[in-house]
Chain A
Amino acid sequence: MFRWILGGREAQSSVEKSPVLCIGEEQPKNWFTELQVLKGHFDIVRFLVQIDDFRCASAGDDGLILVWNIETGERLQELRGHSQQITAMTTFSCSDGLVSHPSLISASSDRSVSLWDPDTGNRVQTISDLQSSVKCLLVLERLCLWVSGGEELCLWNRDFQLQCQKQSHSDTGITALIELPKNCMAAAMDKEIMIYRLTVAPDSSLTVAELRCLSDHQDQVRALINVSDGLFASGSHAGELILWDAIDWNILAYEHILWEESQSPAQAEIRLGAPKPSEMSIQQLSTNGKVLILAAVGSGLYVYSVLTKTVVAYRKVAHDSNVLHTMLLSDRSEVMSCSEDGSVRMWEIQDLPLPAEPASPGFFGLWNFGRSNKQSGPPKKIMDVPNIRTLELTGDLIGHSGAVQMFVSFKENGLVTCSADHLLILWKNGERQSHRRSLALFKKLEENGGLVR
């Protein structure tokens, strides 16, 4: 495509080697036509947390937390205090009868956890000298408590007083935490999911008890999410997706996503050897809170329906590289994903005109077609489902020069992406912004009393 630029006989860029879908420059459905580059970090930005309708906090390996106004792109606060990279960050809003305003809890690998006031930039509370660094945080808003997970599970109240502590059994420690009904919690530890129950004694002291250990995964559990009140899901490094009942912790469904075609010799010459483990690893799960679970598997995307308990749509190679974060927009059938290749892609779950023939354009489409002829294993099952739908690329956002770690959507106000290139990019609807500016212009014009000053 860019051979003309090279003007020589040099090797072609990776664009042509990769079988990834390319949408081109015409993207009528992509309304992100304006961007602002937010600078401030000095290292990889890994976490984004939405504080309220117009604020967002970013944190990364430089130990800095920055609070941004996403309407204007201004940097509101700079929260300094951690000496090493941030490992987890969450908002913490505990209504104590008074007006509750959101705070931020951040954990860093300097083995400290801090509570910040994003309005003033003050460090309200801090705990240092923890036994291990915290890998995940869970806020139990109902109880005004929060839980930190690392090599041990700690329960804290809102004044940062330790309520209870529990050593974990695995070496890797707790990597993910979710809240379950009936004062229960699920914690992902290596290949197991541990269910804890929180009990409040009459003297209001709190205890945490291990109830059950779910060890159905063959490999390390990478993702753990609540799907709805009665369901939660987990995904493993080996591509297993398990749907659990949140009350009695039974397996409701088991889906193993595997690249079966790599075993077939015909494809092997195209595939460069066996699939790397990461290519079937479930990096991240997201849900729209209803019936769909989106799994980021390697560089592909899978949409799993809780109702039919099947994969309803998928893109095996949705990105050039591993997908790092995904999102299902709740009301529309839209999907967003970001990847190590530095791009954010927007997809739409569309019905296929012909169920047996996924009509995706480009090279990947051919590929898909080719594979559908080889009918063996789970993909065959997928193909057999009559109402299979497809993920159609509707647009991509290119701006970052490093892996896009995460993104947060502010609905029509825009989208914030953070990346390994130390930048945040605020993507906005150009027309909306233009309208906003016009409003501001005429307001100011009125204030000035006309153009002539």
Chain B
Amino acid sequence: MIGSPDVVAFTKEDEYSQTNPDAWALPEEFSIPLHPLANTNPWAKTSYAKFTKDFILISEFSEQVGPQPLLTIPDDPKVCGTFDLNYFSLRIMSVDYQASFVGHPPGSGYPRLSFVEDSRVVLGDSKEGAFAYVHHLTLYDLEARGFVRPFCMAYVSADERKIMLQFQELSLRFSQASECLKAGNRRAFAKELQRKLRDLEYTHSVLEREEGLQKEAGPQCMYSPHAVEKANELANVEKSIYEHRDLLRQINSYHCHPRRDPHAVTCQKCMTECLSECEKLLDKYAKLANPFSYTVQMGKVEEQERQINVEGGQEGVEDMEDEGIGRRPSYTPQLIKAKSAKCFDKRLKTLRELCDESFYEATVELLKETERSFRGDLCYLYTRRLDKTLRRRQRVTNFLFEEELGVDDEDEGGILRPFCAVNHAADSYTLLDPPAIVLRPEPLELDSLQPPDPLDPASETSHIQSELEQGHLESSPSDHTLETQESSEETKGSFSSDKSGMGPAEKPQSLASVRPEPPDPDCDLTPDPDHNADLERESSSEETTAGEDEGGDQTPVSLLEVVSELEASRDDDCERISDGVCEMESDLLVPLDTACCMSQEGFLYEVSAPEAGSHPGQPSESLVVNQEPQAFLPLQDDYAVGSPCSESPVAGLELPMGLFGDGVSRTSVEDGSDCTMSASTGSERAASPLGYGGLVTLRHRKKAGQGALRFVRQYPFAIQALWCLLSGRTLVVLGSDEGRVRRLVAALALFVPSPGKCGERVQPWLSCPFTLTDLQRWKLIGLQRVASPVGSSMLYSLSRYSRYISILDADQKTLRCPPYRGKLLANIADHRTYIRRGSTYFLNLQSTLCRLAARAFLFTFTHHLHLPVSSTEGPEVVEGRRRCFLQEQLGLDEEDSQILLYLSQLITQQYLQAATGSSAAAPCFSFTYTTSVLYKI
């Protein structure tokens, strides 16, 4: 059924590996390229893969349909392209090295839960051009076979090295996600057990009452077949209660279980919460309820519950209030029919249901974040990581030129820090409470709690299966081998020798590839028009496909059809199968029958066939089954509401046009740039984010890089303009064309030190006269030139404050500012620069600015440059020392020193303000009295 996994090691470094020469490999000219040169961009690793960028796939080994994909992140069908998710799910689920066996251990009579450690595997599929880090985990489900549901999360990429070299990080991230899922799952499992126990106790009490009645009726009735049946039933229920109680105890003991997984760090808070909750439940069901007590107590259940809640603390109080209002789902005990005591729902729980809602959401968020943080190729990731490390160390000066470090970025510092994705502050109260009992029918809960439908074939078969797999084996032997990077490579090796007979050349190669790939400088020198054109073509094609795909409103309808068809076929199945199997249910020890597998497979095909067959036009969508077949109805809503506003930053601005409307495709074009070099800024659409209160992100800044490069190449006096900005002299960009001025401002904003999170110190377009306070607030101003009375007053303010500002006239192409003759900025303001690409220029600029910031930091925090060393020294000595430092040691002349002095002043202010918070005092505005000169083009 499962083809031999084609191992990671099998695929050698692709043919473009000259950046990382390997002594063992054949020279390039002798090697045959595995894949023809399909893509003009040799840097795109995804050239032969069927998907466009990396994604995360969550799959399940469903006991009903076998391996099936559940969810991709990003949740966008275009990401996977023509990549066969079903097939790949099969592949990744087939390398599950968890040993998830449940059953009776030799000594005890109760079924055991096994606490399985996650397993981590890297696997590859050279044919598909896909490589994946696969993380297997097991969740508990009371209704599932053996109480376990195997899942896996995979990071799928076309670049093997990316996965291998990021293994640790991936492993950490996915472990966090897994822990989060599992924590939620344990909680949900405990709740489910509680419900079940309550049902069972209720049933038990009812049965006992019946038995008591029979006893009263006399001995002749006691041995009637009916009575015997009842007695058996009662015994079964009792047994079941014991079993479930034991399960509850086991899940409670989870935390005592030693973890061998180094990444498996659970959040202490979650753990204690869960623990206390479980203990509460355990106490509650410690002993079998008094035969008649349950019925007697029925009325008092609420009372009990209340007491428990009061003991539970604050949440209990809130809980009571809620109960009164009836907002929360309440619960009525159900009578469990004997026959169906161990019967399964026809429908398996979805992943969302398996884990607490909040935990599920948190996990998805976590994975989205993971996906986001692994975007881009390896070299980009490395650069970014270096960049981040550097920035973490330079907190004092980061505000100058770097964008804000996110909170998550800071988290990366502590690798094995206990982590919890769930926001405790918000959720604790809902999580803590066990479902309250209200004697009132609750339709919402009914379907999962009703006596399971005996006509469900799936539950039947899986039930049987679960009964059989009752060997008790705690965890798999392969856990350890996959924990670290070395071991993962070992696994790779073992895979190769086992299954596909991989050549020995691979291993040294992958070891060598641990070295970070240096960014190739040449790539930036390639002229970019082609690339831009490519991009445009790409985007346009994408948009057209989106339009085709759209099919818009039909989708829900077709889904409905699927559902109805499914249900129809399923009903048939049920009728066929049910009769035969029902008798075996309550029996705990039925030998495993291959018929189960058969029926499973049959179901698999039946389900997928109508889907694929009836809707050939929608391949991308049917690839992902978000939920179990029965759960299709809610699914439509998910699709209709959820997907258009997936995670795009502009989601709030654009109306979702349809399922695959423009909004999605456009955003995916914009943030889908996996490649570092793909920042293409057509100047015409340089809608700068400045002044709209939005955060200035790295992407904006990169885009601005193109504009800045253009400015530098176009204006010979760019260096003077940059000097003005860097030395804190406000630059006014004067022009009559708003677009041009805005573009210039957006480009020049890169050079404004400490621009503020949202670019507060930049005013892209101003059409009224400015005042001194404006000059103080804004360091870069775009000013409208108007020929009217307003214009003359504006000119008056320009001339009045001319000593504080430099004026860049966008129309006349002149710059009026103090003369600058320094050399410090020569390499970022050379109008004969060879840099052609905006993003390259941006990087060049960033390194220069970073260097400046570092110097300013040194200057600011060097004590003797500012203060006298001894009491005999006068201010002149310090002044001389400072001058000497700037000139001799840093090699800066007068004007370059001004840059440093200004940056230093900003650092000082920032540092002093950090303590006092927002200072009540007005900000300072420094200036110098120097003559300006007029530069012309």
Contact = CB atoms under 8 A, between A and B. Distances in A.
A38 B795 contact: no
A278 to B, nearest CB: 23
A441 B860 contact: yes
B785 A7 contact: yes
Nearest to B866: A438
Interface stretch (A136-144, A348-356, A428-436): A428-436
Contacts of A27: 929
Given A13-B792, A34-B925, A5 B799 contact: yes
Given A30-B929, A437-B909, A75 B920 contact: yes
Contacts of B872: none
Contact of A401 (B772, B861, B931): B772
Contact of A5 (B771, B798, B866, B875): B798
B457 to A, nearest CB: 64
Q: Is chain A's binding surface mostly helix, strand, loop or mixed?
A: mixed
B420 to A, nearest CB: 25
A25 interface: yes
Interface stretch (B140-148, B809-817, B832-840): B809-817
B930 A398 contact: no
Contact of B812 (A7, A13, A35): A7
Nearest to A40: B922
B87 interface: no
Given A7-B785, A37-B925, A440-B912, A435 B799 contact: no
B915 interface: yes
Contact of B921 (A5, A30, A74, A445): A74
A180 to B, nearest CB: 42
A26 B802 CA distance: 12
A435 B875 contact: yes
Contacts of B396: 451
A9 B13 CA distance: 69
Contacts of B800: 342, 398, 401
Size bin of chain B's contact surface: 35 or more
B803 interface: yes
B814 A4 contact: yes
A36 B922 contact: yes
B773 interface: yes
A437 to B, nearest CB: 5
A6 interface: yes
A33 B901 CA distance: 13
A2 B799 contact: yes
Interface string B772-792: 110010000000010100001
Given A37-B922, A75-B920, A26 B867 contact: no
A439 interface: yes
Nearest to B916: A444
Interface in A1-58: 1-2, 4-8, 10, 13, 15, 24-28, 30, 33-39
Contacts of B796: 13
B926 A425 contact: no
A442 interface: yes
A430 B734 contact: no
A150 interface: no
Nearest to B798: A5
A34 B927 CA distance: 6
Given A73-B921, A444-B915, A10 B787 contact: yes
B924 interface: yes
Name the residue among A10, A430, A438 with the largest chain B CB count within 10 angstroms. A438
A298 interface: no
B871 interface: no
Given A27-B929, A445-B861, A438 B799 contact: no
B930 A13 contact: no
A15 B799 CA distance: 9
Contacts of B797: 401
A13 B802 CA distance: 14
A37 B921 contact: no
Interface in B905-937: 905, 908-909, 911-912, 915, 919-932, 934
A430 B926 CA distance: 7
Contacts of A342: 800
A162 to B, nearest CB: 40
State the 3 A-B residue pairs at the shortest beta-carbon distance, nearest first: A438-B866, A27-B929, A73-B921
Interface of A: 1-2, 4-8, 10, 13, 15, 24-28, 30, 33-39, 69, 72-75, 342, 395, 398-401, 421, 423, 425-426, 428, 430, 433-435, 437-442, 444-445, 451
17 contacts: A2-B799, A4-B809, A5-B795, A5-B799, A13-B799, A25-B930, A30-B929, A37-B925, A38-B922, A342-B800, A400-B772, A401-B771, A426-B922, A430-B927, A433-B924, A435-B875, A441-B866
Interface of B: 396, 734, 771-773, 776, 785, 787, 792, 795-803, 807, 809, 811-812, 814, 816, 860-861, 863, 866-867, 875, 901, 905, 908-909, 911-912, 915, 919-932, 934
Given A7-B812, A439-B866, 16 more contacts: A4-B934, A8-B787, A13-B792, A15-B799, A25-B930, A25-B931, A25-B932, A26-B929, A74-B921, A399-B772, A401-B772, A421-B771, A428-B924, A435-B875, A437-B912, A441-B908
